[in-house]
Structure 1
Amino acid sequence: MRFVVSKLNTLTSISVIRTNIIRKLSSDAKNKEEEAKEYRKNIVVEKYGAITTVNIDHQKHRNSLDVNTLQELAIALEAFDKDTDSKVLVVNGEGGTFCSGFDIDEIGEKGYNALKDAASRLLRRPLCDKPTIAAVSGYAVAEGFELALACDLRIIEDTAILGCLGRRFGVPQGLFGARRLTSLIGLSRSLDLLMTGRLISGTEAHQAGLASKLTATGTALGESVKLAKSLVKFPQNALIMDKLAAVNSQLNPNSEESMRDEAVFTSLLGNAIEDIKQGVKKFQGGIGKHGKFYKLTEVPLKDWEMEETLEEVKVTIEEKKKNEKS
């Protein structure tokens, strides 16, 4: 009888252990699932030589910015800033939409301030010291519009839709959008968009001066990469200095960021002087003459580039021979 009771106790103990193991495995699986959701990747970074693309991939919610996406975006921007091999950044939205602003559902769940805090990296003026380009397709509205404005240049598709869509819900421009917009297109046009919240097409955005280039549907990313390629060939120190000077004059007058920019200017100046020395040698070797912006790294001159010089030498020699005969 004792043996039977002992056996029953053992079986019960084994059953309890199995149940606990199953619960633990189930709990671990659930935690991993929640962890995967919490740290899902909505920002995809790709590199093409000196060009880096940061792609917002939150297509289920029209590439809206929730806390996780904003944190991932901040990490991507910081990584680009520190990457000495990356010269130009292109910000793009996957699936035909640039960015639809803050995630409304998450604002309802966590509050506006939670997203505003997560977006603090986007408050930097400029967004990055190195050049940034927004490839705008589909919707770029609310904070998505502000993200496009934060970039230095914008390639905008003609069918894109831009505007301060948060006006409908009483959401202000929280990422310096009002200031950036005014510096780009002036007070009168900015007030029209800011106060009415009306949406404009890519074509109207280009007419207002927001687009560096207006392009066809589906080509914004390609055109942005093409523009980026045209920028990486230049000596970067002087380019960054001029960019920061322009941004500073519009967005950071008499501010701490202005002082930071001055410090950057100073650090870049020494390198820029070296670039100038190299530039003089290149020009003396025939590169960039006659206002050409292509093949800035190739020293040998083509035959047609030498024609003018050869002709001048030929004429000089012939004139010298005539003088000797006479």
Structure 2
Amino acid sequence: MNTYTSEQFLNDEFDGFTVEVDTARERADIILGRPPYNIIAMSQRETLRQVFEALDAHPGVRVIVLRAQGEHFSSGGDIRGFLEASPEHVSKLAWNVAAPERCSKPVIAANRGYTFGVGFELSLACDFRIASETARYALPEQNLGQIPGSGGSARLQKMIGIARTKHMVMRAKRVSGQQAYDWGFITECVPDAELESTVDALVDELRRFSPLAQRTAKKLINDNEDAPLKVAIEMEGHCYSRLRSSADFKEGVEAFHGKRPAVFRGE
């Protein structure tokens, strides 16, 4: 098993995807690259997890974008691979797919065309999902006599409720980008030609904020997903208290009163 450092992967080649790092823009792109359908192989999921961990440790990266070549994000996984994989390998699938969620940095999924199966599950594990109007979301595993196995139905139910999740999972129904926006599981739905520019704008927006405050907010919101309201409010208070002593908060207050842009350093 390879373990990628924050620098090693920059010059490495991966099966099924590429990585681009632009430190001038503090951005990294993970690009699914097996067009036209960008099928995600079994082994690819573990490598994707390792790359997310390496990018999380990269000091020159503030925001990560998960996108794909061509007209489809991903039609899903390599079906035959499920029959060939060992039970131990299969047991790790959900952990690998959850890598964007565990990453301390903001992760954006840019979806167009088919966003099915594990492609959908990877997107659901990201913080923001930007869809073009061509996007079609589905968890089609019922057609194979299976169910989603990497957090798809679980995450979706948290976002859209039990009735709509049953509609998508038990009937293997496809949902358009606009309907996904109306149901609340994507952040924006834009014309296909505007997908990249919308993602670029979100990357630049997120870079303006304190890295420390962004990391804190992401972890707090994720950790509070299943917490009772009283516990969630208490956890929020503790995080707020810790940030009050940070250099970034001091800079933010001084910049506000000085009517100037803040320069955050993540400290």
Letter in 2 for 1:274: A
CA distance in 2, matches of 1:138, 1:112: 31
Q: Is the CA contact 2:100–2:107 (under 8 Å) kept in the aligned structure 1?
A: no
Letter in 2 for 1:45: V
CA distance in 2, matches of 1:109, 1:230: 43
* Residue matched to 2:29: 53
* Residue matched to 1:76: 51
* Residue matched to 1:63: 38
**How big is the alpha-carbon RMSD for the aligned residues of Structure 1 and Structure 2?**
2.7
1:275 Cα deviation from its structure 2 partner: 0.7
Runs ≥4 residues deviating over 6 A: none
Question: Higher mean Cα deviation, 130-139 or 119-128?
Answer: 119-128
Deviation string 1:41-64 (CA, Å, 9 cap, x unpaired) is: 32211123211110010115x111
Normalised to the residue count of structure 1, the TM-score between the two structures is 0.67
Letter in 2 for 1:55: I
**Unmatched 5+ residue regions in structure 1?**
1-38, 255-261, 288-294, 298-326
Alignment of 1:282-301 (within 5 A): 282-287=255-260, 296-297=262-263
1:231 Cα deviation from its structure 2 partner: 0.2
CA distance in 1, matches of 2:21, 2:132: 23
Q: Is the CA contact 1:42–1:72 (under 8 Å) kept in the aligned structure 2?
A: no
* Residue matched to 1:192: 167
Deviation string 1:19-69 (CA, Å, 9 cap, x unpaired) is: xxxxxxxxxxxxxxxxxxxx8532211123211110010115x11111332
Alignment of 1:92-107 (within 5 A): 92-107=67-82
The alignment partner of 2:67 has SS state of strand
* Residue matched to 1:234: 209
Q: Which has the higher contact order (CA 8 A, sep 6+)?
A: 2
* Residue matched to 2:232: none
Greater helix fraction, Structure 1 or Structure 2: 1
* Residue matched to 2:117: 142
1:143 Cα deviation from its structure 2 partner: 1.3
Letter in 1 for 2:181: H
* Residue matched to 2:63: 88
Letter in 2 for 1:285: G
CA distance in 2, matches of 1:285, 1:232: 21
Given candidates 275, 280, 283, the residue that maps to 2:253 is 280
The alignment partner of 1:226 has SS state of helix
The alignment partner of 1:126 has SS state of helix
**Unmatched 5+ residue regions in structure 2?**
1-12, 229-234
Question: Higher mean Cα deviation, 63-72 or 74-83?
Answer: 63-72
Given candidates 181, 188, 210, the residue that maps to 1:213 is 188
Letter in 2 for 1:221: E
Letter in 2 for 1:43: F
Letter in 1 for 2:34: H
1:114 Cα deviation from its structure 2 partner: 3.7
Q: Is the CA contact 1:138–1:160 (under 8 Å) kept in the aligned structure 2?
A: yes
Cα pair distance change 1:224/1:271, threshold 3 Å: farther
Percent same amino acid at aligned positions?
25
1:205 Cα deviation from its structure 2 partner: 0.6
